[in-house]
Chains A and B, each alone.
Chain A
């Protein structure tokens, strides 16, 4: 019986007797991990980065692409400072078995906290898996349907207009600052601990607006509770065809959240090549492509030097944004 068989499989797995990862047949690898690979997640459980990391891990385990398991560990402390320092430390002891899923605090945290002694240029670029998008959201009961009405309402409310976002001096606040500057607003930024919490503040009308990723708001969007006004993307998103881009609205501003995998500094070339190939397979897998499409993700696969160049460009952009905010 196939059902009984599947049940047995699950039983064996559940009891931890059978390891899930079977060794992959096929191309002989020059380098293979010798022990479980630490898969650090630079954000808390349940957030956008965490969800994607667990999807990557699942794809790898489902297909048996790694002879040793990847063990995810969340290190959200200090806007990722804890994770960055951890990776740097691992670079000294065991650079070949530590990789990390990272986001834009990869640029901003070392810039804001030079005391950490973290230079991302020394880290090992593995793969950029996607770029997540941002939109400006309001609650449907506000009656606001486009950016002009938003500007009028936010201007009138002045500093009483609450913009909820994730963390301090991170992505959401950069976008809030952009909106304040571009439209002459004085919105109040209130930080929360994760994108899901932020989305809920808007749905419960404890905030007037947010700049959530699509995956964070799509449930409330589907039920008609929240409305996307405009997207911080070059083109309109398939998911939200009625939301114009800020470019269309005459503001040349585009902003993405990187979803990348980075290795510890000092990783051997063989190990780096192994991980690059592994994540390229993940990127090309049906599961990942389907997820990309469903969440309207941008950003093609980048690796090696191209990824490092991308990081250096982004770091300069974030440096400029942060110094404009007076945060450096």
Chain B
């Protein structure tokens, strides 16, 4: 314990070196904006700026990139809340409640909750990182295909209640998502699946951000245009100090959710397969399941903003753990960081902690510093962000449209994805008119491929024996918790039959 504190203080000192501190602050600001731009996520940001880091020593470089990664996790929430377009894949769940809050004129509340939850998520996870890095690395290694599959079952279970009251429509939505998820090359058989009209763009599958931007960005825009019938709507925005302090006071409504989401997010982030997007979705699902008022989720509950935001920041720190201790990236962004570390002459892996302690502890120290800076910068910018909403919707709609097209194009840089995004937008609008929940489809397209692969890899290894999921302690535990989660709302419903009838 003492040696950890000693190393940590060394790392913090390192992070406070003038050059390093400067890089962290710049990284946070750049990350915040990269995250806020739809289509530009932390992956692109880190990839684009990687060459720049060769101008500074490796310590400053990794701090810079980690700060971008970190800032982007905060930034993703901004466009999710103000525009209803997920700024990054990790911020999709933030749209669920963030957008309704903004429409209700409470964007400042939602943004404050997102910033605070991100801060808590980041802090909790970096503390966990500091204390338990080596044992958790061992634990992450014990996750083979059966454990991964069980975790995915658990993730689906957290979403049982997500669709609202209409169970058949929820199942339909999940199935649509699962079908879309199978498009592309099947890695187990090596064969292409559902390549419509032999269009080569389907080979790389459906990028889930394309679906999310289509449904939430374009679909939402069409919906709003229809609702207002072209009337100019301007949201009222409250931006006084008093409002700010009141918003801070709201922490009490979501602090429990936030801490739960932080721990969950960190844990899911450390698993090489998962990453921040599944973590944020799971956290949202859990928050809803255990809420006293689950019906208000999806209609503008601040806890629904705090839960995914806490989890995605926690997961971004968590995913650095397998990168550093095992040399295996926990997310696409850390994959690029890993590439950078190799070029800097470091060898990520089990020995990095002992071979380059100054580097590792400097990075950990910088996470504490980046976290503090980002929350301050973010809170300071909230008045600027909410100003977006004071624009008339007739001005805002074209901006949203352009951002959606850019966001659809950027990840793969093909027009194919832009057409798909527009198609999903129209489909999403129609589904919404017919009262279908779309969040389950988004969940299914994220988790579907992970679940399918790990399921088939498990069965290949076990000669088709399904018991493999129940024999292994970790996977059996996950499945048991999943079963409990499925039964929990049912039992709660039985206990309150009167309310269920209403």
CB pair A7 B56 closer than 8 Å: yes
Query: In the complex, which of the residues B141, B204, B272 contacts A78, with contact meaning CB atoms closer than 8 Å?
Result: B204
CB pair B19 A206 closer than 8 Å: no
CB pair A51 B327 closer than 8 Å: no
Please measure, in the bound complex, the distance between the C-alpha atom of A298 and the C-alpha atom of B47, giving whole angstroms.
Answer: 28
Complex contacts, B201 vs chain A, CB 8 Å: 82
Please measure, in the bound complex, the distance between the C-alpha atom of A55 and the C-alpha atom of B338, giving whole angstroms.
Answer: 12
CB pair A85 B52 closer than 8 Å: no
CB pair B204 A76 closer than 8 Å: yes
B256 within 8 Å of A (CB atoms): no
A20 within 8 Å of B (CB atoms): yes
Chain B's closest residue to A9 (CB) is: B55
A132 within 8 Å of B (CB atoms): no
Tell me the minimal C-beta distance from B67 to chain A in angstroms: 10
CB pair A222 B328 closer than 8 Å: no
Chain B's closest residue to A116 (CB) is: B200
Q: List 9 A-B contacts (CB under 8 A).
A: A7-B19, A9-B55, A10-B23, A20-B52, A45-B332, A75-B204, A192-B457, A204-B141, A219-B349
CB pair A77 B203 closer than 8 Å: yes
Complex contacts, A167 vs chain B, CB 8 Å: 187, 190
Complex contacts, B171 vs chain A, CB 8 Å: none
CB pair A46 B329 closer than 8 Å: yes
Which of B78-86, B142-150, B241-249, B481-489 faces chain A?
B142-150
CB pair B141 A51 closer than 8 Å: no
Complex contacts, B116 vs chain A, CB 8 Å: none
Please measure, in the bound complex, the distance between the C-alpha atom of A266 and the C-alpha atom of B412, giving whole angstroms.
Answer: 24
CB pair A168 B203 closer than 8 Å: no
CB pair A218 B205 closer than 8 Å: no
Given contacts A7-B56, A54-B339, A54-B343, whether A223 and B43 have CB atoms under 8 Å apart is: no
Please measure, in the bound complex, the distance between the C-alpha atom of A51 and the C-alpha atom of B50, giving whole angstroms.
Answer: 12
Determine the main DSSP class of A at the interface with B: helix
Please measure, in the bound complex, the distance between the C-alpha atom of A207 and the C-alpha atom of B52, giving whole angstroms.
Answer: 39
B463 within 8 Å of A (CB atoms): yes
Tell me the minimal C-beta distance from A61 to chain B in angstroms: 5
B335 within 8 Å of A (CB atoms): yes
B30 within 8 Å of A (CB atoms): yes
As a 0/1 sequence over residues 327 to 365 of chain B, the CB contacts with chain A under 8 angstroms (1 = contact) are 111001001101100110001111100000000000000
Which residues, 438 to 471 on B, are CB-close (under 8 Å) to A?
Answer: 453, 457, 460-461, 463
Given contacts A220-B350, A225-B350, whether A11 and B22 have CB atoms under 8 Å apart is: yes
CB pair B351 A81 closer than 8 Å: no
**Interface size class, chain B:** 35 or more
CB pair A190 B326 closer than 8 Å: no
Number of interface residues of A (CB under 8 A): 66
Please measure, in the bound complex, the distance between the C-alpha atom of A80 and the C-alpha atom of B205, giving whole angstroms.
Answer: 13
Which residues, 218 to 236 on A, are CB-close (under 8 Å) to B?
Answer: 218-220, 222-223, 225
CB pair A222 B351 closer than 8 Å: yes
Please measure, in the bound complex, the distance between the C-alpha atom of A86 and the C-alpha atom of B204, giving whole angstroms.
Answer: 12
A251 within 8 Å of B (CB atoms): no
CB pair B461 A162 closer than 8 Å: yes
CB pair B336 A193 closer than 8 Å: no
Chain B's closest residue to A57 (CB) is: B51
Given contacts A203-B141, A222-B349, whether A81 and B203 have CB atoms under 8 Å apart is: yes
Complex contacts, A77 vs chain B, CB 8 Å: 184-185, 203-205
Tell me the minimal C-beta distance from A265 to chain B in angstroms: 16
Tell me the minimal C-beta distance from A129 to chain B in angstroms: 15
Complex contacts, A57 vs chain B, CB 8 Å: 51
Given contacts A200-B272, A223-B350, A225-B350, whether A10 and B56 have CB atoms under 8 Å apart is: yes
Tell me the minimal C-beta distance from A256 to chain B in angstroms: 21
Given contacts A193-B453, A220-B349, whether A78 and B343 have CB atoms under 8 Å apart is: no
CB pair B26 A11 closer than 8 Å: yes
Complex contacts, A27 vs chain B, CB 8 Å: none
Tell me the minimal C-beta distance from B32 to chain A in angstroms: 13
CB pair B350 A222 closer than 8 Å: yes
As a 0/1 sequence over residues 133 to 144 of chain B, the CB contacts with chain A under 8 angstroms (1 = contact) are 000000001111
CB pair B185 A206 closer than 8 Å: no
Please measure, in the bound complex, the distance between the C-alpha atom of A10 and the C-alpha atom of B22, giving whole angstroms.
Answer: 10
CB pair A219 B348 closer than 8 Å: yes
Which residues, 46 to 104 on B, are CB-close (under 8 Å) to A?
Answer: 47, 49-56, 60, 64
A14 within 8 Å of B (CB atoms): yes
CB pair B204 A82 closer than 8 Å: yes
B384 within 8 Å of A (CB atoms): no
Please measure, in the bound complex, the distance between the C-alpha atom of A197 and the C-alpha atom of B96, giving whole angstroms.
Answer: 32
CB pair A200 B328 closer than 8 Å: yes
Which 10 A-B pairs have CB atoms at the shortest separation, nearest pair first? A219-B349, A46-B335, A168-B190, A206-B144, A77-B204, A223-B350, A77-B203, A219-B327, A204-B141, A82-B203
Tell me the minimal C-beta distance from B82 to chain A in angstroms: 23
B291 within 8 Å of A (CB atoms): no
Please measure, in the bound complex, the distance between the C-alpha atom of A205 and the C-alpha atom of B472, giving whole angstroms.
Answer: 13
Please measure, in the bound complex, the distance between the C-alpha atom of A50 and the C-alpha atom of B60, giving whole angstroms.
Answer: 23
Chain B's closest residue to A15 (CB) is: B30
